[in-house]
C-alpha cells in the first residue's frame, strides 16, 4: 500500500462510505477500515470499522478511529495517515486494483509528455522513448496479479468489477493535490454505524472511462476430499486432514514431512509447467488426491527403474560366471 495513489483513493472511500459500505461489507454496512491505536503498548484496532468517524469539511478528509481504552484519534490520509490504514480482504483488493490501474494510466500520460518533448527513436517499439540527453528509456508500467481461483467468479464480479467505476478517478492523470479530488457527496461526521441507503447519485457513478485494471491470473485451487479449498488455517488450528496422515499422505501438507519421506518436490513443479504449456489446465481445480497420485506414480517409476537395474546387474553376473 505504498503507491502514491493510495491517499486519494482512501479519500474517495470516505466520500463514498455510505454506498460502498453496504455492498463491500453487507454484514455491518460499513467500510472495514482499521488503524492500530497509536498509544504505546496498545495497538488495538476495531476489525470491522463500526465506530469509525468520517469528516470531509474544509477540503480535508479526516478519519476517526476508536479504541475502547484510549478513545478516538484522527488521521489525515494526505498527511501520512493512509499508510497506517488496513482493510479487510475485499476492500484491500479493490483499493489495490484502483491504485495499480491509475499507476498504469499515470505512466501513459508521463510517456505521452515525454514523447512530445523528447527525440523518438523509430527503431524502438511504440511503448519506448529514448531521452536524447541521457540515452535512458521510459516505458509504461503494467501490473499483473496472481491470486487463487477462490477470488474469481461471483466474488470478483460483485466486490471488484462492479465497484471499480465508483472508486476510479474521473480525472487523469492521477492528481496528488489533496484539494483536487472529485467533487462527490460529502460524508457527515457521524459514526459509520448510522448508515442509511445512499442516493444513487451519491455513490460515485460517473460517465468517464475507467483506467485499465491489472491483468489477474487466477491460480487453480487445491481441494480436499469434500471439494473445498485445502485450508492452511484448518490444518494448523483445528488439526484437520488427519485422514491424510493415517494414509501416509500428510507430506502433501508439509514441506518438512515431504523431505522426511524423501518425496521429490519436482513432481509439483513439473505439474505446474504443464499449466503453462497447456493453458486450459489453468481453468480447473486439483484435488489433493490427484497430487498424491502424481507422487505415487513417480515413486513406482523409480522402483521399476531400480528393479530393472537390479535385473540387469543379475544378468551381467550370470554372464561373468
How far lies 144's CA from each of 1, 67, 81, 93, 269, in Å? 15, 37, 27, 13, 21
Confidence of residue 226 (pLDDT cuts 50, 70, 90): confident
Q: What is the pLDDT of residues 301-316, one digit of tens each?
A: 888 877 766 766 666 6
| Whether pLDDT at 200 is above 50 | no
Phi, psi (degrees; rounded to nearest 5) at 101? -65, -45
Q: Are 16 and 8 in contact (CB under 8 A)?
A: no
Alpha-carbon dihedral sign for residues 115, 117, 120, 124: negative
> Is the model's pTM score more than 0.95?
no
Q: Is 291 exposed, middle or buried (0-12, 13-18, 19+ CB in 10 A)?
A: middle
Residue bearing the bigger pLDDT, 100 or 241: 100
| Whether pLDDT at 92 is above 90 | yes
Q: What is the pLDDT of residues 50-86, one digit of tens each?
A: 999 999 988 889 999 999 999 999 999 999 889 999 9
> For residue 185, which of 196, 200, 173 has the smallest C-alpha distance?
200
Q: What is the pLDDT of residues 155-172, one digit of tens each?
A: 999 999 999 988 886 544
> For residue 38, which of 60, 63, 61, 70 has the smallest C-alpha distance?
70
Q: What is the pLDDT of residues 111-123, one digit of tens each?
A: 888 777 655 455 5
pLDDT at residue 98, as a whole number: 94
pLDDT at residue 237, as a whole number: 67
Residue bearing the bigger pLDDT, 95 or 115: 95
Residue located via cell numbers 504505546: 40
pLDDT at residue 315, as a whole number: 61
Average pLDDT over residues 7-28: 94
DSSP β-ladder status, 53-55 and 62-67: antiparallel
| Whether pLDDT at 295 is above 70 | yes
Helix 17-24, helix 6-15: angle, nearest 10? 90
Amino acid at each position: 500500500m505504498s503507491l502514491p495513489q493510495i491517499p486519494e483513493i482512501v479519500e474517495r472511500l470516505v466520500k463514498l462510505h455510505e454506498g460502498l459500505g453496504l455492498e463491500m461489507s453487507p454484514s455491518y454496512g460499513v467500510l472495514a477500515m482499521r488503524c492500530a491505536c497509536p498509544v504505546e503498548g496498545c495497538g488495538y484496532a476495531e476489525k470491522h470499522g463500526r465506530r469509525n468517524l468520517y469528516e470531509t469539511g474544509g477540503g480535508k478528509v479526516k478519519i476517526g478511529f476508536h479504541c475502547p481504552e484510549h478513545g478516538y484519534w484522527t488521521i489525515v490520509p494526505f498527511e501520512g495517515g493512509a499508510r497506517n490504514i488496513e482493510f479487510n480482504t475485499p476492500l484491500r483488493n479493490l483499493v489495490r486494483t484502483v491504485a495499480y490501474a491509475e499507476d498504469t494510466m499515470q505512466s501513459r500520460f508521463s510517456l505521452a509528455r515525454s514523447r512530445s518533448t523528447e527525440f523518438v527513436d523509430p527503431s524502438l517499439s511504440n511503448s519506448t522513448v529514448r531521452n536524447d540527453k541521457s540515452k535512458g528509456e521510459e516505458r509504461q508500467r503494467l501490473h499483473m496479479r496472481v491470486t487463487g481461483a477462490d477470488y474469481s467468479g461471483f466474488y470478483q464480479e460483485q466486490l471488484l468489477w462492479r465497484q471499480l467505476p465508483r472508486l476510479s478517478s474521473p480525472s487523469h492523470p492521477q492528481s496528488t493535490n489533496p484539494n483536487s479530488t472529485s467533487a462527490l457527496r460529502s460524508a457527515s461526521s457521524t459514526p459509520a454505524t448510522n448508515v442509511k441507503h445512499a442516493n444513487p447519485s451519491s455513490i460515485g457513478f460517473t460517465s468517464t472511462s475507467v483506467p485499465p485494471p491489472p491483468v489477474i491470473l487466477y491460480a487453480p485451487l487445491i481441494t480436499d476430499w469434500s471439494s473445498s479449498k485445502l485450508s492452511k488455517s484448518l490444518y494448523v488450528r483445528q488439526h484437520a486432514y488427519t485422514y491424510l496422515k493415517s494414509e501416509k499422505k500428510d507430506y502433501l501438507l508439509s514441506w518438512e514431512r515431504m523431505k522426511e519421506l524423501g518425496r521429490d518436490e519436482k513432481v509439483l513443479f513439473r505439474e505446474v509447467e504443464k499449466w503453462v504449456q497447456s493453458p486450459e489446465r489453468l481453468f480447473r481445480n486439483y484435488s489433493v488426491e490427484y497430487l498424491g497420485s502424481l507422487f505415487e506414480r513417480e515413486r513406482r517409476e523409480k522402483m521399476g527403474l531400480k528393479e530393472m537395474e537390479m535385473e540387469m546387474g543379475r544378468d551381467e553376473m550370470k554372464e561373468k560366471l
